[in-house]
Amino acid sequence: MNKLKIASLFAGCGGTDIGFLGGFSFLNNNYKKHPTELIFANDNDPRVCDIFDDNFQLKVIRKDINKVQAKEIPDHDILTAGFPCQSFSIVAQNPLRLGVKDPKGELFFEVCKVLKDKQPLCFVAENVKGILSVNNGLTFPLIMKSFRDCGYHLVHILLNAYHYGIPQRRERVFIVGFKRPEYLDLFCPPPPVNKQKNLKANPMK
């Protein structure tokens, strides 16, 4: 079986990429390796880049995302992107919660740039819960429309890290996009490991 190729934007320490690759143990559960291969990763925070490089064979490209050209990124099947959350977070009020009125809040457009050029089979984008309400609730529909305009059919879901064995109540919005709309019906959110909550995704075809 040919491996699915993954490109990672705003890679951070690589947590999302570990999930896609598999082959790790967590809470006494062993997760098998997936037929995937990480072929590109980008971030520009030297601290997280050091951690990434210590844990992956692939070395992260240390470069401002605004200066990354789509042609520099190899063709891939899956794009991951945990774009910056500071402009959306309800906790971080200094600076103010400006949403897309802040340069960091516009960085999801860099994800769109790659999607339009590379057209991977699917993508996963992640951000804080506050993205749903920032700018009087106007930002999230704009982001979803921008992803749809790249040619994707979308589903989004709000997950709490606490339900997956993390000792923190961190809520995160995951946006999943597919090139083929029939895959929306096959998408199943991961079941909570502590069995405390049933989850339902929110399709936006």
Task: Please list, in sequence order, all residues whose beta carbon lies within 8 angstroms of the beta carbon of residue 37, skipping any fewer than 6 positions away.
Answer: 3, 4, 5, 6, 21
Half-sphere exposure of 32 (CA within 13 A, CB side): 2
DSSP string of 79-111?
Answer: EEE----TTT-SS--SS---GGGSGGGGTHHHH
Task: Round to the nearest angstrom and report the end-to-end CA distance of the chain.
Answer: 30
Q: CB neighbours (10 Å) of residue 7? A: 24
Note if 85 is an active site residue.
yes
Nearest to 73 by CA among 114, 12, 103: 114
Q: What b/e string do you get for 35-68 counting C-beta neighbours within 10 Å, with b at 16 or more?
A: ebbbbbbbbbeeebbeebeeebebebbeeebeeb
Annotated catalytic residue: which of 85, 112, 150, 188? 85
Bridge partners (DSSP) of residue 176 are 124, 155
Q: Which residue matches tokens 């949403």? A: 99
- Catalytically annotated residues: 85
